[in-house]
Structure 1
Amino acid sequence: MDPRGGAPGRDRLSALPVDVLLLILLRLDTATAGRTSVLSHHWRRIWALLPELRFPADADLRLVASALAAHEAAISYLDVRALDAAPESVEACLALAADRLSGRLVFRNRVSPGGNADGDGETGGFHLPCLDKATAVSLDLGFLGLAVPTTGVFARLTELSLLHVRLRCSSWGLSDAVSSRRCPCLQKLSIDYARGLANLTIESQSLLELNLQGVDGLQQLIIAARALNKLHLIHSSVADGGPLVAVISTPQLVSLGWVDLYGSTSILLGNWPRLENLHSSFNVYSLHDSWINHGFLRLLKRFQFIRHLHITLLYLKDIGNFQYAMEDLTKLPCLTSLSIMVRHNGHAFGASLFHMLRICSDLKMLVLSLHNQVNCIVPDPCPSGCVCDQQPSDWKTEDLTLNCLQAVSIDMEGSDHQVAFVKRLLTWAVVLKIMCINFDCSMSECKVKELRQTLSSFARPETSVKFYMFQNEGMKFSGTKYRLAP
């Protein structure tokens, strides 16, 4: 008996307003929400009014297509995760979604081990419909072939992301599709690990951010985007026709990420007298003709002032046949802050960091990332007699006065190399106000306690040293950190 006097087994849930029932169903994936249609006649069509549809990993695209065909409301968010999807099934689903999609589309095709992630460039692809009411589209296709529509306007699209895609259209097709004429509101464009794109021309009045990474075979890049303020380019393959030819006109650019892995010697850049942010990389040990290093050095010459420089110092696992290259880096632009990520692969790195600080002694803020782990796995130390032991050792004894450095943040694992460098840094930074030391999740409680005492003893009385500990949440850089009590 109902304790409030009602009849036993009375269906009170169905009496709730439809808006409330939809809020309940939104907490379920769409396949589960659809199964509520068997509860009663009242529930039969409620799921079809959901504004957001989420299909779990490895969804059967035939069922996804059936659900989209039966759906009745506008879709503000559509998320589909498939496994080894057939291109014709993908095309059928997206064609059904095109009429109702009025918001964000996320489609991911996961390729199983041994699955067909490659193709001959002529088969295994599908045509993307013109999603004229979509506001954001993210396609991770597992290198399925993709042909972009040659007609129609993506009138509301502000974000487009293409990942692991094999373009089956001509290069002109994608260039035309992302132009202001057909994407008048596009603000962010990302193309990562794409094939079949030899030439890309972007002419946009609205584009604010552009990310290109690992575009195989890219030979020509032309960017004319007056409003663009963020550009990130990692050119990571040698095209058959030679190095990348780039013409870039972006007068409003304030943030630039540039890593040229294969020597793009024909580059015409716009006038950027000063940058807010520059992201790049440098090989500490390299051959004399290292394209990464030459590209970075050429880039630095363009600027007198960079507010924030973010650089990754790269150490190869085996550096026995390479030369120490830091001496090639003789000058940096005027900086406010410097962020250095050291990918040391177990090698000694004190000399390279000392060199960086010596050529920017007017620095005010320093951020160091010294860990080199994946999922808290410590890399093997370099072998005895490694060439890294022959680095200049003046950093261990030579005085360096950093009389502008006021704030430092360091991520560390607690190795002897790291501790030795931090001790020296505390003696060089004569006006340091605050240092934050972030210990790695792999460190033992005993080790953390020992290092807190040791490093605190090297700090000046006027320096506030704060210690934090990363929490292990599976992926190294997705974890959070918490403050260690004094």
Structure 2
Amino acid sequence: MLMEVRLRGPCGLGEAVSSPRCPSLRRLVVKDAYGLGDLTIHSECLLKLELFRLPDLQSLTVVAPALQLLKLDNCFALSSRQPVANISAPHLMWLAWMDDYDQNSVQLGEMAYLQSLVTQHFIMYGEDYHSSHNRNGVCLLRHFEHLHRLVLTLQCPKDIANKKYFMEQITRLPDIKLLELGITACGHSFGASLFHVMRMCTAIRALVLGLNVALEDEMGPLFSYSPSEETLCPSDCICDQPPSWKTEELVLNRLEVVEISGFRGTEHEINAVKQICSWATVLRRMTVKFHDSITENKAEVLCELLVTFSRLGLDMIFIYRMP
């Protein structure tokens, strides 16, 4: 691991970690490194490459036929430069591209074995300049047809007055089996955005829904948000628009398992659970993990309410922190 360093003069890091000099290197992590403008790696043995916050990075080239995991987090996004990358990793299985993406200057190559994709967050409501941020993520999603697992995160600002709704920019998702969806709603309704995503992946078998909490996997933290107090939106807020998500038909006839974490029991969250139960016609197990701030008494009240959404053949499991 190379972290919190400043590289001066012509940097030969890529040459130093490539196969001729590091024939046994299996994992490389570079984090918070300054002065790294160009990184070119040719490695026959590298299995995992993780790059975090490289503010001076201008171009990235990776030729690694054995590479299985690639994570790029806030490297190109920290500058105004167009991301330039050429990735040749035909056996890649896990890709976390949480960074700017430009289909004209980023070449990902063939990834026939890719199973898991993590993308940069999408903004649900925002200003005009947020639109290009979302379009980058949309272009990345279009690069893939079939995946086992997709991790999406949706973020909503606290103040959405006079903001534009951007979820309609997402017009298709890869064919997936597992969807991990993180939502930071800041007290607003997220039902319309949830409906928009779910109707594009009706063949999923499992859904992991994170509400304002951290999710982690083998690639590390994916997203986190833990407000001390949940903000309530005003009664005339636009966040519940369009309201058709509550009545429009949606059939998820392969979804069998749902796991929800960070559940606080707000009206918006309860409505979302109710809709998921109605959409998922063959759902057999739903696990609800309450937020740590929920007391045992409140958890019991919420459990009684959520059970009313259940039906024959559906097991509902509730997890909350004991005092």
Q: TM-score, normalization: structure 2?
A: 0.88
In the TM superposition, what is the alpha-carbon distance from 1:176 to its structure 2 partner?
1.8
Change (3 A) 1:193 1:245: same
Q: In structure 1, what is the equivalent of residue 318 of structure 2?
A: 467
1:401 is aligned to 2:241: no
Alpha-carbon distance in structure 2 between the residues aligned to 1:291 and 1:178: 34
In the TM superposition, what is the alpha-carbon distance from 1:250 to its structure 2 partner?
0.6
Task: State the SS of the aligned residue for 1:432.
Answer: coil
Q: In structure 1, what is the equivalent of residue 89 of structure 2?
A: 250
Residue 337 (structure 1) aligned to one of 178, 185, 196: 178
Alpha-carbon distance in structure 1 between the residues aligned to 2:41 and 2:54: 15
> Conserved in 2, the CA contact under 8 Å of 1:217 and 1:237?
no
Letter in 2 for 1:276: Q
Letter in 1 for 2:258: V
Change (3 A) 1:444 1:238: closer
Compare relative contact order (CA 8 Å, sep 6+) and give the higher one, 1 or 2: 2
Alpha-carbon distance in structure 2 between the residues aligned to 1:322 and 1:263: 25
Task: State the SS of the aligned residue for 2:148.
Answer: strand
Counterparts of residues 316-327 of structure 1 (less than 5 Å): 316-327=157-168
> Conserved in 1, the CA contact under 8 Å of 2:211 and 2:260?
yes
Counterparts of residues 26-425 of structure 1 (less than 5 Å): 161-171=1-11, 173-234=12-73, 235-237=75-77, 239=79, 242-261=81-100, 265-273=104-112, 275-280=114-119, 281-288=121-128, 290-372=131-213, 377-383=228-234, 385-389=236-240, 391-411=241-261, 412-425=263-276
Letter in 1 for 2:315: S
Change (3 A) 1:254 1:262: closer
Change (3 A) 1:379 1:215: farther
Query: Which residues of structure 1 form unaligned runs of 5+?
Result: 1-160, 473-486
Query: Which residues of structure 2 form unaligned runs of 5+?
Result: 214-223
Alpha-carbon distance in structure 1 between the residues aligned to 2:37 and 2:158: 32
Write the deviation string for residues 103-123 of structure 1: whole angstroms up to 9, x where unpaired.
xxxxxxxxxxxxxxxxxxxxx
> Conserved in 1, the CA contact under 8 Å of 2:187 and 2:233?
yes
Q: In structure 1, what is the equivalent of residue 304 of structure 2?
A: 453
Change (3 A) 1:311 1:220: same
In the TM superposition, what is the alpha-carbon distance from 1:263 to its structure 2 partner?
5.3
Alpha-carbon distance in structure 2 between the residues aligned to 1:170 and 1:317: 44
Task: State the SS of the aligned residue for 1:404.
Answer: coil
Q: In structure 1, what is the equivalent of residue 221 of structure 2?
A: none
Change (3 A) 1:334 1:451: same
Change (3 A) 1:200 1:323: same
Alpha-carbon distance in structure 1 between the residues aligned to 2:249 and 2:27: 46
| Greater alpha carbon shift after TM alignment, 374-383 vs 205-214 | 374-383
Change (3 A) 1:260 1:237: closer
| Greater alpha carbon shift after TM alignment, 451-460 vs 365-374 | 365-374
Q: TM-score, normalization: structure 1?
A: 0.60
Alpha-carbon distance in structure 2 between the residues aligned to 1:323 and 1:471: 41
Percent of aligned pairs sharing the same letter: 39
Write the deviation string for residues 360-396 of structure 1: whole angstroms up to 9, x where unpaired.
111111110013575672343345544424x211122
Alpha-carbon distance in structure 2 between the residues aligned to 1:182 and 1:262: 31
Letter in 2 for 1:167: L
Alpha-carbon distance in structure 2 between the residues aligned to 1:432 and 1:344: 25
Task: State the SS of the aligned residue for 1:395.
Answer: helix
Specify the structure having the higher radius of gyration (Cα): 1
Alpha-carbon distance in structure 2 between the residues aligned to 1:180 and 1:169: 23
Alpha-carbon distance in structure 2 between the residues aligned to 1:217 and 1:291: 21
Letter in 1 for 2:61: I
In the TM superposition, what is the alpha-carbon distance from 1:335 to its structure 2 partner?
0.8
Alpha-carbon distance in structure 2 between the residues aligned to 1:252 and 1:193: 27
> Conserved in 2, the CA contact under 8 Å of 1:278 and 1:309?
yes
> Conserved in 1, the CA contact under 8 Å of 2:135 and 2:169?
no
In the TM superposition, what is the alpha-carbon distance from 1:451 to its structure 2 partner?
1.0
Task: State the SS of the aligned residue for 1:335.
Answer: coil
Task: State the SS of the aligned residue for 1:233.
Answer: strand
Alpha-carbon distance in structure 2 between the residues aligned to 1:318 and 1:265: 34
